[in-house]
Structure 1
């Protein structure tokens, strides 16, 4: 589903990361760890074609992102990728249900039942008519996750999805993310510092400036 080969990203003469190789199969959950500033979020952005890189390749479902025009990459993201941003990126003028339904709207697929299912799965069932400014940070995070899941993406990218959540709510979120991965064959790549999240992963990798390696703590 996702194949990265010898990917390198520079800021001026400095390598953010270099020579990253990664392949993620459908239905596989890969967790990525690393020190702050090593480029984990930037790497996720490259996986979605939201950022550029200096050398190497990124393929999503067989499509090479570096050769695609911006509109083609946007279409690929709409159809096949779900992205959970650290900063939420919910639209303030839309209520919770409308924010969650946005990926379906962009695909011209109206499915109120699916939106309701995702809201319930993430403990937001009673909040569908609220505006974002009426929600807590943890609730906004769950809205962002429901939106990323609602269109059943082939590839799900999540940047610290439980970082703003208490342990019990984080467990609910991880259940929804891993459930999507296992039940629908979604490839899941999650950047996290949470040991509870990495415990559920098929593989835990550590990103360094020199590349990607298996996390030594897990063998």
Structure 2
């Protein structure tokens, strides 16, 4: 699934977060976005998903203009077509691992325990489906978040600092799992990161600043 952003701008009051951001992500492509802290990388990612509003420009997912959709329509598109990996995991503490991963399928009315079990195995969590989140390490929780984001086979995956809270060895394992599953599904991946190691694995690296977005070398 493609993602297209044209001349996107975001302000908070009189302060410009970013402006003139344009990029096109092809189906199956992995794009990393880097930049200084506070430049609006996470805000940009939220705009891509239609979780946040913008003040100028447009966002298209698979040819659909998010600006022309209601909040409910955006939520449905995300539920069907988009996976989001949050930096803070956002797993539900009262659900076990398998239930957390299965949640997107349940919301779509497509329960599939075999898909959940297979994805848990693919990200290195085989046999841990019955555990509660508080029984897992940070690296394991991030892999739960990745499995949950991918379980419904989205065409677009958005990931916000998925290795930001992890040690280098665990971070590498998490990136391995993320890339392997994204490639297997042919999904487009946009990753916001401070990690040079994570960005180095992307097909393209872009740098966000207040003036826009550009190639990073």
User: Are 1:28 and 1:181, in contact at CA under 8 Å, matched by a contact in 2?
Assistant: no
SS at match of 1:117: helix
User: Are 1:141 and 1:164, in contact at CA under 8 Å, matched by a contact in 2?
Assistant: no
- Identify the range of structure 1 (172-181 vs 137-146) with the bigger mean alpha-carbon deviation: 172-181
How far residue 183 of structure 1 moved from its aligned partner, in angstroms, is 2.6
Q: CA, structure 1 residues 68+161, in 2 after alignment: closer, same or farther (shift >3 Å)?
A: same
Question: 2: distance between equivalents of 1:184 and 1:122?
Answer: 14
Taking structure 1 as the reference length, what is the TM-score of the superposition? 0.95
Taking structure 2 as the reference length, what is the TM-score of the superposition? 0.95
Aligned to 1:47: 48
- Identify the range of structure 1 (87-96 vs 132-141) with the bigger mean alpha-carbon deviation: 132-141
RMSD (Å), alpha carbons: 1.2
Paired residues for 1:145-160 under 5 Å: 145-160=146-161
Deviations 1:115-160 (A, max 9, x none): 1122112222232111122223222222111100111110000001
Aligned to 1:83: 84
- Identify the range of structure 1 (197-206 vs 126-135) with the bigger mean alpha-carbon deviation: 126-135
Paired residues for 1:58-69 under 5 Å: 58-69=59-70
Aligned to 1:168: 169
Which ranges in structure 1 are unaligned for 5 or more consecutive residues? none
- Number of aligned residues: 216
Question: 1: distance between equivalents of 2:144 and 2:167?
Answer: 15
Deviations 1:53-93 (A, max 9, x none): 00100000111111101111111001100000112111111
Paired residues for 1:107-146 under 5 Å: 107-146=108-147
- Identify the range of structure 1 (116-125 vs 69-78) with the bigger mean alpha-carbon deviation: 116-125
User: Are 1:152 and 1:180, in contact at CA under 8 Å, matched by a contact in 2?
Assistant: no
Which consecutive segments of 4 or more residues in structure 1 shift more than 3 A? none
Aligned to 2:8: 7
Deviations 1:11-53 (A, max 9, x none): 1111100010010000000000000000000000000000000
Question: 1: distance between equivalents of 2:124 and 2:61?
Answer: 31
Aligned to 1:180: 181
User: Are 2:20 and 2:212, in contact at CA under 8 Å, matched by a contact in 1?
Assistant: yes
SS at match of 1:127: coil
Which ranges in structure 2 are unaligned for 5 or more consecutive residues? none
